[in-house]
Amino acid sequence: MTRRPELARLRQRLAEDEPGAALSIAELADAWPIGRQRCVDALCAHVREGGPQAGEALAVLGDRLRRDDGWGGFDMDLTGALIPARTFRGAHFTGGRFVLRGATFTQQHVGFADAVFAGGQVDFTGTAFEGGLVDFTGAVFDGGRLDFTGATFTGATVDFSLTVVSAGALDFTRASLAHGKLVFYGMRCLGGGVTFTAARLVGAYVLFIGALIAGGRIDLRRADLADGMVEFAGTRLASGSVLRDGPPGAVGTGR
């Protein structure tokens, strides 16, 4: 039996700023598996539109994404949304497409620390980050794709310290980093890889410090380092690979 009329009523309550409406939509989604994507779409649309309960809707999405049996396999479109810091800390992404193109992050903090990426795609393509922290510390990548293609980072710190990459890809193709840092302290790249193909680093640093590359791949081909630096101090290269084709700029080895 369809529960679309119930969802329509809850969406109206959400638009009218009735307390608890966002949570009610989440509870409907939990009880209506075949309609769960419709409920997720309703919450995401409310966030994109900056509705009166956008904050509550985001909190509900973050909570459901942290559950092992949660919503990580569903599509979520938050294009252009206003996202509070740490909303997605510890989230589990197991499939689907999670879109954050053009989103604005309050407190200049993008919070995905301790998240698990086991499938699907998280889409930051073309997004601009000015200052602040893009935080993926302690995240686990076991499939799927984190896509920063064409993104720009100006004065930002992008922190992947203590992450584990066993499958999937971190893709910075054609991204631009100016006067900031990409930090991979203690990262373990055991499969999949990190791609900087045709990326541009201007006065910026990419720091693989104390990392382990064993089965994975770091691809710097056609990257333009300008006056930036890629540093591999203390990094161990086992069966993995670091691919370069002599881009301009300095590449540190830590030796």
Q: Quick: pLDDT tens for 127-176.
A: 888 888 999 999 999 988 999 999 999 999 999 999 999 988 999 999 99
Report whether 116 contacts 140 (CB < 8 A).
Answer: yes
| Residue range 62-81, pLDDT digits in tens | 999 998 778 999 999 999 99
**Per-residue DSSP letters for 60-86?**
HHHHHHHSTTSSTTS-EE-TT-EE-TT
The closest alpha carbon to 192, from 166, 214, 213, belongs to: 166
d(CA 60, CA 66): 10
Reported as a single tens digit per residue, the pLDDT across 170-188 is 999 999 999 999 999 999 9
Cα angle 254, 139, 135 (rounded to 5 degrees) comes to: 75
Burial 220-252 (b: 16+ CB within 10 A, else e): beebebeebbbbbeebeeeebebeeeebeeebe
Q: How many residues does the chain have?
A: 255
Domain ranges of the chain: 1-71, 72-251
In this prediction the pTM is: 0.88
DSSP letter, residue 224: B
- Asked if 167 and 143 count as a contact pair (C-beta separation under 8 A), the reply is yes
